Amino acid sequence: MVETFKALGDKLSNWGRWGVDDQKGTLNLITAEMVRAASGSIRSGKVFELSLPLGHDGPQRGGHGRFNPQHSMSVLPGEFATPDGLVVTDDVLILPLQCATQWDSLAHVGYDDKFYNDVTASESVTARFGASRNSIDAVLPGAVGRGVLLDIARLRGVEWIRAQDDPIGPEELERAEAEQGVRVGAGDILLVRTGWRRKAIVEGWSKEWITVNPGLGLDCAEWLCEREVSVLAADNWGVEVQPSRTDGAYLPLHCVMLRDVGMMFGEMFDLEDLAADCLDDGQWDFFFSAPPLRVVGAVGSPVAPIAVK
């Protein structure tokens, strides 16, 4: 029920915890000491980049504000010619900031006209200036620290979890920890693999892919807070299971985590190669870095996340 998630949000609220002007939310959980310690997860020096291609062959289906990026060349070879034979090219991109691999800022989802830290939604975001509070450029450098991958698709023994399957709950996250021999701790950046990216590789993009997805249930909210996770990302567009299993609530986990807890979500991360490597060497943690672009007033940002093992 709607009351359920709002009560939960109230219970888990971090409003004021890092000051009334705070815009970083649970990113504050990452201390310099944690970043330093995370460098210890770099053991072999392998680097994994976790983004989807930004091109017109992407997951979006069109419609207002949700299209695949449009790339165009503004200068081609030979068009800016100087006597020394110089060749220069240049290009322009049009992209919905959340069209592919991306961060939700804390100004992306809220409820009852509030975003994180008591910011009034309707007053803080305008067509003219974007978000004046909780925008993505307020969190730079963003999530840099220790990352942990939990591979739930593998735990269930499936290529990918289906949208209609049981949502991922806290006990399943803990079973994955036990199975993988890793523990999610304070300040950690948690990556959850549902296999939904794998589905797109096998079947191609589809209306189903971008309309529903497997993911975390609302009952993960408390667990994420107890473990003091700093940010959460997944290999699908919604992170939380879609459609929601909470009656009358469309994005209840977003609502609680982004608005009340102050935790950013990362979406459409490509975890395939990283997961394969982790399975191979049994190391499921890594140094992680995924700064958003410093887009002034933006409510989301494309990102090229990296995991270094």
73 in contact with a copy of itself (CB under 8 A): yes
Angle between helices 272-281 and 196-203 (to 10 degrees): 120
Reply yes or no: is the peptide bond before residue 141 cis, omega within 30 of 0.
yes
Give the pairing type, strands 231-234 and 189-193: parallel
185 in contact with a copy of itself (CB under 8 A): no
**Contacting residue, 15, 25, 115, 117, with a copy of itself by CB under 8 A:** 115
Q: Which residue do the tokens 């049009």 mark?
A: 94
Element (DSSP H or E) covering residue 177? helix 170-180
Q: Which residue do the tokens 């220790």 mark?
A: 146
Size of residue set near a copy of itself by CB under 8 A = 113
Tokens of 234: 């997944």
CB of 282 to a copy of itself, least distance (A): 18
200 in contact with a copy of itself (CB under 8 A): no
Spatial separation of the C-alpha atoms in residues 214 and 156, rounded to whole Å: 13
Q: What count of Cα atoms within 13 Å lies in the side-chain half-sphere of residue 133?
A: 20
The answer to whether the beta carbons of residues 257 and 232 sit under 8 Å apart is yes
Q: Which residues within the stretch 209-248 sit at the binding site for a copy of itself (CB under 8 A)?
A: 248
Nearest to 297 by CA among 51, 133, 113: 133
Comparison of 141 and 185: residue with beta carbon closer to a copy of itself: 141
**Contacting residue, 109, 163, 191, 239, with a copy of itself by CB under 8 A:** 109
Q: Which residues contact 46 (CB under 8 A, 6 or more apart)?
A: 277, 308, 309
Comparison of 224 and 249: residue with beta carbon closer to a copy of itself: 249
Comparison of 14 and 301: residue with beta carbon closer to a copy of itself: 301
**Contacting residue, 7, 10, 11, 113, with a copy of itself by CB under 8 A:** 113
Comparison of 42 and 158: residue with beta carbon closer to a copy of itself: 42
Q: Which amino acid is at 247?
A: D
CB of 267 to a copy of itself, least distance (A): 13
Spatial separation of the C-alpha atoms in residues 241 and 1, rounded to whole Å: 15
Dihedral of CA atoms 205, 292, 176, 188 in degrees, nearest 10, equals: 180
Q: Which window, 13-21, 32-40, 194-202, 218-226, contacts a copy of itself (CB under 8 A)? A: 32-40
186 in contact with a copy of itself (CB under 8 A): no
Q: Which residues within the stretch 122-181 sit at the binding site for a copy of itself (CB under 8 A)?
A: 122, 124-131, 137, 140-142, 144
Comparison of 73 and 178: residue with beta carbon closer to a copy of itself: 73
CB of 155 to a copy of itself, least distance (A): 27
Neighbours of 179 (CB within 10 A): 13
Comparison of 109 and 189: residue with beta carbon closer to a copy of itself: 109
The answer to whether the beta carbons of residues 15 and 110 sit under 8 Å apart is no
18 in contact with a copy of itself (CB under 8 A): no
273 in contact with a copy of itself (CB under 8 A): no
Q: Mask: binding to a copy of itself, 33-72, rule CB under 8 A, as x and -?
A: xxxxxxxx-xxxxxxxx-xxxxxxx--xxxxxxxxxxxxx
Comparison of 148 and 173: residue with beta carbon closer to a copy of itself: 148
